[in-house]
Structure 1
């Protein structure tokens, strides 16, 4: 796919009649990948691609024979479920076929962006990039304009540059239809790797830049000295100052630093119901300092959870990639506050973190074709005594396009602080243990199976991570067979699964499950 520089200005208003869209690369070859198997779409989709000195543009004309059925509710950013209409573009600006950024928007201009990482198989919507989009519902369907600043993207030096790209539309009606500009084989074990090559990008601005974000705040409190009607007394003015810095000397290297960061503008967490929950709730990271290369923090055992750094006093971080090796390293000081997870076999508890600590996290990942090997190390040194250190390798092996084998082994060495008033186990004791996980996934057009084994020692601790359950062994097995008939019934999948757990208070289960998709989705399950 080849792209050309815009012939004029473009205003992002949902109207594709601007001069800049004339001569834009037209993309009208699309495939229905769900429920169809790379078949022609039932509705017409057209994409347009162009760029100028500062921005990358993607425009879309999405046909709809019944515009009144377009599903486009208002909502928060990143709140675009599969039951709503949306469309957009995935960009792999490093052209490695492994990691891409997804930018999609709805007809009501609700934005969703995420990082898709083939090596880990994860999609993370925590990062919020700087970009904008505008949708417009018309008598023939809806249109969409997307504008992405080059400063939000990372790409290598060179002229011309080569990226990878795919365009996408979600079209939920009697079924959930999904249309792409690439074919997606059923049972494939990668997604970004299917993207098309994009050429013709010339004269782009340098990918490296420096961002300084200082802040100064001040406040003064006061009250009536002896109640209403008495003289007013003002306290002294209190101030605060801090700085965030980001430098990207190359497309593959990012350096971050922060001193007394201010996170007051970060959106609040989405509420979760904690009633009858035996283990701690997980909340995604939203603080910018921790989001660079967030896919590198994703491992089978979640030994890194940056929300455990509750109040950073300062921090420095380097993230990059050279050749087939990616790395990230973080060092900082946590002022404390918040809570620490105290894991157990049957439930977890929380303890107040009334102490400062130094935090160090690093991971090195070496890609070998579509597989990788990696090493993770974390350390938390508590002021006044105490520490938690975790070290171990992980890997992912893809012997074929249908099979994925992933595993991780971690070893922890801990010495708890002497704070028994906060937690009974914080009496200065030493804890040493291990955690392992290995799983095998095989997926084809009709047959799939999954096998997983977990073994976590009772004294394993990952104070920089999110491991709320310890002291158990568990084996999970699941197999399925999928039928895809034509007509009203489009998908029928039968599965059988079983789980064997060992540990205090655990139990084993065996289940049979049938799911089917016609005009909606249904399922039935039987367990014992």
Structure 2
């Protein structure tokens, strides 16, 4: 049998076997397995109104807390599997007409070992190293979405949206709520008040029933995670296992209106590149940008947002990414508040809505909400800039047009049965001689306790200005394309597997989304066995992975085929190790390139306030600039250290050495250091330094290149944040560039001030 025939036989056979496994859930075996577990059913706890006023200070001394409903965190769900929690935790819940109140009493046999540090809200990578408590509220009790809130022993906040169907946990979502924490002689306490106008829930005066989970993270030699309910590892849903809380009646979000005026003042000075490096920085004009955003809860379950001349400036610098020898466009996450509100309503299996395509809008409007079984999301914008990607099988082209563009998105999703959905999506962008429209449907089907199937089908229609089409090698006349996606997934205690198929037509464009590659038909098989350790053993979890993937273009040419095996370990000292061996064959620019390399990462959190990480790749590589095989070593170490409760240092470095038969093609180093001093939970001073240095060997390039490129970016920021919208930022940034013959020279600098205020009515 020929090699191609073997490949076809393998993939067709794998698809057939996985299809049978997925569509025939073997109910008898699943029921037998479920019967072996004597897990208690979810509880329904009745919540009563607060017996007194509550002041959020962490003391829990009001009468309301003495009479509040009490739940206990009884179960450790990882690394132990629903074993008794190693420490005692009480959760208290009550409410009044305007707020829900939740408190924790966290007992600890050694309070001096509690891990607690000051930091900015939602600094989640740092936050999870601390002791903390969390809870989730499924306010529609539909087991599809939930609001998540976390607090550490000093009262530092983190909040997120959680979407069950997409496995989506988004900590960029922000609510305005109060929290306080106190370390005591028995452990610590946490007190929280969340206004109902920050949540969404079914309207009407009937008694409300919500899904509820409370969780405690107790990081010591391992990170013990404990909950108020059991977590069955043979069920691949989280919200469906929650306890229920009920009794809320006549609750109201009030007028549920919020106005967020902002004022941004900045001045940017820059050197003309015609005079570089000997020129002077030319003082720029002071730019004053007032703006306002508004939010109105039309009903408790329907939210309307609007903004005029919005402040979409980013105070946080984007994380440094190495863009040398890249084939496709890099993706940077969304951080702007207007787009983050209700962002989970626009999720689909393929990323059709990526709001960083909106660069500099005049205004924007949005409506999101849920009415019965129907979830709806709409937003429109008018942008000053039209950023475009030109995707293909072999790479991504980009351009930016200085022209107004109108954009709009409509999303509808209906709940079907207990845990399934079907949805519809439209996105559109229209400008001068330009348009892109995408329309499609998608669905999520829960086939059994452990098996799901998700799918999406889309069609697009695109027209570019003639000059852009000619310059970028695109069709001059309007053209159409399509996209298809399907994924069958099994997720149980000891086995995870998935079979997915993706077909992106060569003329498919999704300019409101992030679609850097098209003209592909991709089939992927992933098999992932898992072995769980015993409490106190040398490992908590061992995981193995086998992945195969094949990609062809729409002319039938195989452009990618890949096989990967791997093993993962989690154990004491909160350690994790994963090692992979990958072999692939790539067709790039008409050249068939084969390579084999290994990759992996090592992570440890051995004590309070210390975290380090190392990612590596070594072996065969592809020199995309010159379309040939090469060798590479890539190292990416990271270190985070808390120096006391107030000071935090984070360092990240990327090293890559690309060679051809022992001769260096380029050597790249990219470093980022971040130093933060936190005065309290509201105020910090932060310095960021990013430095890049890339040394090229011009003799090994098929086109002229500089022998060296250097870059330096620095930022100093003072932040005072009462809540996510009531803020004061004062900062300075500058950047410099250099070459082999030119020392690093400052090319630009910016001074900025931002003031924001949240007026909640």
Q: Do these two structures clear the TM 0.5 threshold for a shared fold by scoring above it?
A: yes
SS at 2:312 equivalent? coil
Q: Describe the superposition over 1:165-192 as per-residue Cα deviations: whole angstroms up to 9, x where unpaired.
A: 1101122222222111122110322212
For 1:512 and 1:430, the matched residues in 2 are separated by 44
Q: Does 1:366 align with 2:383?
A: no
Q: 2:104 aligns with which of 50, 60, 64?
A: 60
Answer yes or no: is the 8 Å Cα contact 2:234–2:491 preserved in 1.
yes
Higher helix share: 2
Question: How big is the alpha-carbon RMSD for the aligned residues of Structure 1 and Structure 2?
Answer: 2.8
State the match for 2:443 in structure 1.
395
Report the equivalent of 2:458: 410
- Determine if the alignment matches structure 1 residue 258 to structure 2 residue 307: yes
Aligned match of 1:275: 323
Q: What residue is the counterpart of 1:231 in the other structure?
A: none
Q: Deviations 1:403-440 (Å, cap 9, x if unpaired)?
A: 01111121111111234499524674434222222111
Q: Which residue of 1 aligns with 2:242?
A: 195
Q: Does residue 493 of structure 2 align to residue 445 of structure 1?
A: yes
Aligned position for 2:137: 91
2:391 counterpart of 1:343:
yes
In structure 1, how many angstroms separate the alpha carbons of the residues matched to 2:235 and 2:320?
34
Q: Given the alignment of the two structures, is residue 119 of structure 1 paired with residue 172 of structure 2, yes or no?
A: no
After TM superposition, the score normalised by the length of structure 1 is 0.89
Match of 1:524 among 570, 575, 579: 579
What TM-score results when the alignment is normalised by the length of structure 2? 0.63
1:333: which partner in 2? 382
1:235 positional shift: 12
CA distance in 2, matches of 1:217, 1:60: 39
Q: Is the 8 A contact 2:252 2:300 kept in 1?
A: no
C-alpha distance 217-479 of structure 1, shift in aligned 2 (>3 A)? closer
2:345 is the counterpart of 1:299: no
2:284 & 2:171 partners in 1: Cα distance? 43
Q: Deviations over 1:471-499 (max 9, x none)?
A: 22222211122222423333222222212
Decide which structure has greater strand share: 2
* Equivalent residues of 1:86, 1:104 under 8 A apart: yes
Kindly indicate whether residue 217 of structure 2 is the aligned counterpart of residue 170 of structure 1.
Answer: yes
Provide closer, same or farther for how the CA distance between residues 505 and 132 of structure 1 changes in structure 2, counting only shifts above 3 A.
Answer: farther
Q: SS in structure 2 opposite 1:464?
A: coil
1:20 corresponds in structure 2 to 64
Per-residue Cα deviation, 1:7-42 (whole angstroms, up to 9, x for no partner): 333332322234432212221242111122222111
1:382 maps onto 2:431 in alignment: yes
**Counterpart in 2 of 1:228?**
none
Q: Secondary structure at the match of 1:508?
A: strand
- Counterparts of 1:456-471 in structure 2, within 5 Å, are 456-471=504-519
Count of aligned positions: 514
Partner Cα distance (2:397, 2:154) in 1: 42
Q: 1:179 aligns with which of 226, 233, 238?
A: 226
Does the CA contact (< 8 Å) of 1:209 and 1:248 recur in 2? Answer: yes
Give the match for residue 12 of structure 2: none
CA, structure 1 residues 208+455, in 2 after alignment: closer, same or farther (shift >3 Å)? Answer: farther
SS at match of 1:151: helix
User: Quick one: distance in 2 between partners of 1:291 and 1:489?
Assistant: 38
Residues 349-371 of structure 1 deviation map (CA, whole Å, 9 limit, x = unaligned): 33123111111211111110211
Alignment correspondent of 2:539: 489
- From 170, 188, 209, give the equivalent of 1:142: 188
Q: 1:205 aligns with which of 239, 246, 252?
A: 252
Please report how far the alpha carbon of residue 147 of structure 1 lies from its aligned counterpart in structure 2 after TM superposition.
Answer: 1.8
Q: What residue number does 1:507 align with?
A: 560
> In the TM superposition, what is the alpha-carbon distance from 1:115 to its structure 2 partner?
0.9
Partner of 2:293: 244
96-105 vs 281-290, which moves further: 281-290
Deviates more, 1:294-303 or 1:153-162: 153-162
Equivalent residue for 1:31, pick from 50, 75, 84: 75
| Contact kept in structure 1, 2:420 and 2:444, CA below 8 Å | yes
The offset of 1:113, in angstroms, is 0.8
Deviation, 1:461, is 1.0
**1:287 and 1:343 mapped to 2: Cα distance?**
26
Uncovered stretches (5+) of structure 1, i.e. residues with no partner: 223-233
Which deviates more, 28-37 or 355-364?
28-37
The answer for the alignment partner of 1:100 in structure 2 is 146
Query: Secondary structure of 2:560's match?
Result: coil
Whether contact under 8 Å (1:446, 1:481) holds in the other structure is yes
Give the structure 2 partner of residue 226 of structure 1.
none
In the alignment, the residues of structure 1 paired with residue 121 and residue 284 of structure 2 have an alpha-carbon distance, to the nearest angstrom, of 40
Q: For 1:32 and 1:253, how far apart are their aligned partners in 2?
A: 37
C-alpha displacement at 1:203, in angstroms? 4.0
Cα deviations across residues 94-113 of structure 1 (Å, max 9, x unaligned)? 22222110000122333211
Structure 1: distance between partners of 2:185 and 2:396:
55
Aligned CA distance change for structure 1 residues 363 and 203 (closer, same or farther; 3 Å)? closer
For residues 174 and 374 of structure 1, do their structure 2 counterparts lie closer, same or farther at Cα, with a shift above 3 Å needed? same
Does the Cα contact within 8 Å between 2:490 and 2:497 map onto a contact in 1? yes
Per the alignment, do residues 498 and 216 of structure 1 end up closer, same or farther by CA in structure 2, a change over 3 Å counting? closer
Stretch moving more, 365-374 or 120-129: 120-129
> Which stretch has the larger CA shift, 136-145 or 190-199?
136-145
Q: 1:136 & 1:219 partners in 2: Cα distance?
A: 39
What residue number does 2:645 align with? Answer: none
Report how far residue 242 of structure 1 moved.
Answer: 4.4
Secondary structure, counterpart of 2:64 in structure 1: helix
Contact 1:420 1:427 in 2 (8 A): no
Structure 1 window deviating more from structure 2 (394-403 vs 417-426): it is 417-426
The answer on whether the counterparts of 1:419 and 1:427 sit within 8 Å (CA) in structure 2 is: no
Q: Check 1:269–1:20 CA distance in 2 against 1; reply closer, same or farther (3 A cut).
A: farther
